[in-house]
């Protein structure tokens, strides 16, 4: 379903696809770059890598007919896709840290940013994925990992991500975005290493919540049973830190 435009370098593949969407690009428009100079992840963090060592890819989706409240599952869907693609293309077993950080061997392998874009033909979603493919340890940021030890080829990773995203998205959209009916909720829970752990959630306003991550609700929010007691807290945005068992 993808109309892929490959470039050597760009500022941001998400910005490129968003601009194309506003100009009338159809669903399936995609931009793939070997290097981006202004890449961003969640919470507006920069995503940087030396030229030729990573993949930056963004895909345009127009999930018309899916209720807006269910669009919150798109970042989680993308996380499932990347975990499965890494397994298929590199034989590497990655996991998710809520909502969609992709971790491998304890380090961050991939970041995902999904943005809603208003266009003349209705709202659209841009799914952006940055994935470390060939960086050496000295080229990685603190806490980062790449697929270099696994010998993965960039084209194989791209193909696995693109085919996996098309399949997961079509199933999810056909179910009206229902995470249970589409199998997405079950797939996400099976790949999410956050569930069952003691965590600290650092919220956008500066507050924190510590407790056990118990589940993901129907809106894709992380449910935390606070260590201090009280009602379960639903976290829709923020940073989650996995704590060491006490």
Residues 39-53 pLDDT 10s: 554 445 555 666 668
Contact 210, 198 (CB under 8 A): yes
User: What pLDDT does residue 194 have?
Assistant: 98
Provide the whole-model pTM.
0.93
pLDDT in tens, 145-198: 999 999 999 999 999 999 999 999 999 999 999 999 999 999 999 999 999 999
Ramachandran sector of residue 205 (left: φ over 0; alpha: ψ -120 to 50; beta: rest): alpha
- Per the DSSP assignment, residues forming a β-bridge with 160 are none
pLDDT on residue 195: 98
Centroid of chain to Cα 235: 17
Q: For residues 23 and 73, give the distance between their C-alpha atoms in angstroms, rounded to a whole number.
A: 26
CB contact at 8 A, 166 and 61: no
pLDDT at res. 153: 92
Distance of alpha carbon 246 from alpha carbon 235, whole angstroms = 23
> What are 142-154's pLDDT values in tens digits?
899 999 999 999 9
Taken in order of first residue, the domains within the chain and their CATH numbers are: 3-191 (3.30.930.10), 198-242 (2.30.30.100)
* Pair 110, 131: CB distance under 8 Å: yes
CA pair distance 115, 147, nearest whole angstrom: 26
Backbone angles phi, psi at 93, to 5 degrees: -95, 100
pLDDT at 45: 53
Are 53 and 135 spatial neighbours (Cβ–Cβ below 8 Å)? yes
Residue listed under structure tokens 């975990």: 83
Model confidence at 77: pLDDT above 50: yes
- The strand pairing partners of 30, in sequence order, are 4, 59
How many DSSP H helices and E strands does the chain contain? Answer: 4, 12
For 18-79, the DSSP string reads HHHHHTTPPTTEEEEEEEESS-B-GGG-B----TTSEEEEEEEE--TTS-GGGGGGHHHHHH
Q: If you write DSSP's letter for every residue of 66-78 in order, what string do you get? A: S-GGGGGGHHHHH
Q: How far apart are CA 138 and CA 130, in angstroms?
A: 18
Q: How many CB atoms lie within 10 A of CB 214?
A: 14
Looking at residue 14, its pLDDT comes to 96
């Amino acid at each position: 379903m993808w109309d892929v435009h490959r470039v050597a370098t760009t500022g941001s593949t998400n910005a490129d696809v968003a601009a194309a969407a506003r100009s009338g690009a159809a669903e399936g428009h995609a931009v793939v770059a070997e290097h981006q100079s202004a890449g961003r992840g969640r919470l507006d963090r920069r995503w940087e890598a030396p030229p030729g060592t990573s993949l930056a890819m963004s895909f345009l989706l127009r999930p018309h007919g899916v209720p807006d409240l269910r669009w919150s599952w798109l970042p989680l869907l993308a996380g499932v896709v990347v975990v499965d693609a890494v397994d298929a293309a590199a034989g590497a077993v990655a996991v998710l840290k809520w909502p969609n950080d992709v971790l491998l061997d304890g380090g961050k392998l991939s970041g995902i940013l999904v943005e809603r874009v208003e266009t003349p033909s209705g709202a659209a979603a841009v799914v952006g994925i940055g994935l470390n493919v060939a960086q050496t340890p000295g080229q990685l940021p603190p806490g980062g990992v790449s697929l270099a030890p696994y010998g993965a080829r960039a084209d194989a990773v791209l193909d696995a991500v693109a085919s996996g995203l098309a399949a997961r998205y079509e199933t999810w959209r056909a179910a009206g975005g229902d995470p249970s009916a589409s199998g997405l909720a079950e797939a996400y829970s099976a790949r999410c290493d956050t569930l069952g752990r003691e965590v600290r959630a650092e919220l956008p306003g500066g507050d924190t919540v510590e407790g056990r991550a118990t589940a993901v609700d129907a809106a894709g929010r992380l449910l935390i049973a606070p260590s201090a007691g009280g009602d379960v807290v639903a976290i829709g945005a923020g940073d989650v830190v996995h704590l060491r068992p006490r």
